[in-house]
Amino acid sequence: MNSFSWVFIIALAASVMLRLWLANRHTGHVRRNRDSVPESFTGRVSQDEHRKAADYTITNTRTGMLALVYDSLLLLGWTLGGGLELLDSSWRSAALGPVLTGTLAILSAMVLMTLLDLPFSIYHTFVTEQRFGFNRSTPALFISDLLKQGVLLALIGGPLIALALWIMDASGGLWWLYVWLVWMTFTLVMFWAWPTVIAPLFNKFSPLEDEALQQRIQALMDKCGFRSNGIFVMDGSKRSGHGNAYFTGFGNNKRIVFFDTLLESLEPAEIEAVLAHELGHFRLRHIQKRLLSTMALSFAALALLGWLAGEAWFYQGLGISQPSAWMALLLFIMVLPVFTFFLQPLLSLLSRKHEFEADAYAVQQSSGTDLVQALVKMYRENASTLTPDPLYSAYHDSHPPAPVRIEHIYANIKA
């Protein structure tokens, strides 16, 4: 324990208390509004659907609070409680050389953390989602997903960690700059390869077959000057009843993906409006902006790590007696979110700004009323609350609260 231990403990306690306070406000606000559908949704969302969304939100928020306390205690156990110290000394005693020792220490810590979080992910899928009628997954599918993730971690994560550790050891004071370059290259390759290499391991993607809809979508894409590698339908219903649509990849490997669950419930005009919103993110360069800010943030983070890794108090303050490149990396990854949590409102604000802009674009290129129809259906079918606590939502939400968002779309239609 040193004074940095106290900085860490205080930041952790402050972030946990802030989160719990916000979550508590949120459940209170949702409960108070449980019996009254907001005015702009009357006739479109029934009383029962509104109550279901409230119950679903409250259940998820409460489980989230429990998971937060559990994870924070685990983090204390890993650091000040001596968990990582024990793991580190066990791998060190095998005398495998720094890069292999470090890689195995980091990978085993990641596997243990995933296993320790399993009770919550199992509860979420097979109790909460089941109860609200969203779960379509089976224990066999759940286990096979977990095993696939483990294999990917070993095959892709292992070599990447080994490379980073080797650079840290071998390249002098500017190692963090080289690690950043490797990390950025990796991010870009993954972003590019995701739709064709990784995602198909977990889901089936088939080309959109509905010809009328396809023509409609093609016409919109031509109008917006967007060229993609195809429109695909993903079998999201394999795991969950929740529906969505997204863009993936970049350069010559862009794809538009619709969940089959979404296609089932939306009319062609509504699908077009949703797509126009997604195209808005692309045309307004939101995707590039997000990528650039990720690059800038990770540059700052690695520069910070470059400094911290050389300071003995950083390790001692977090319960590690022997400084090493791998422990610097692992501690940093585990502890950084405690501090960056305080930046969350800023990131949420930027994200909501992009959502408003993409909505405005969709109103211009397609139909605003169809977009509203589609959103209402998506809120209803995903049991999203229409009445989040304003402060909770401002802190956490990447999307504007439903009534605010719809009000903005109507304002855009009139303008």
Residues in contact with Zn ion by CB under 5 A are 355, 358
Distance in Å, CB of 22 to Zn ion, minimum: 23
**Residue 340: CB minimum distance to Zn ion, A:** 23
> CA-to-CA distance for 321 and 134, rounded, in angstroms?
47
Q: Which is nearer to Zn ion, 270 or 355 (CB)?
A: 355
Tell me the closest approach of the beta carbon of residue 398 to Zn ion, in angstroms. 8
Choosing from 129, 270, 272, 359, the catalytic residue is: 359
Nearer to Zn ion, 179 or 234 (CB): 234
Find the farthest-apart pair of alpha carbons in the chain and give their distance in angstroms, rounded.
Answer: 70
The three state secondary structure string of 36-98 is CCCHHHCCCCCHHHHHHHHHHHHHHHHHHHHHHHHHHHHHHHHCCCCHHHHHHHHHHHCCCCH
Distance from C-alpha of 222 to C-alpha of 227, rounded to nearest angstrom: 8
User: Quick one: 34 or 281, whose CB is closer to Zn ion?
Assistant: 281
- Residue 401 has which token pair? 């609260």
User: Does the active-site annotation cover 88?
Assistant: no
Residue with Cβ nearer Zn ion (104 or 358): 358
Please state the closest distance from residue 358 (CB atom) to Zn ion, in A. Answer: 5
Catalytic (active site) residue 272: no
Nearer to Zn ion, 236 or 280 (CB): 280
Provide, rounded to whole angstroms, the least separation between the CB of residue 388 and Zn ion.
17
Which of 270, 272, 278, 370 is labelled catalytic? 278
Nearer to Zn ion (CB atom), residue 278 or residue 389: 278
Closer by beta carbon to Zn ion, 338 or else 358: 358
| Minimal distance, residue 92 CB to Zn ion, in Å | 47
Minimum distance between the CB of residue 278 and Zn ion, rounded to whole angstroms?
A: 7
Active site residues: 278, 359
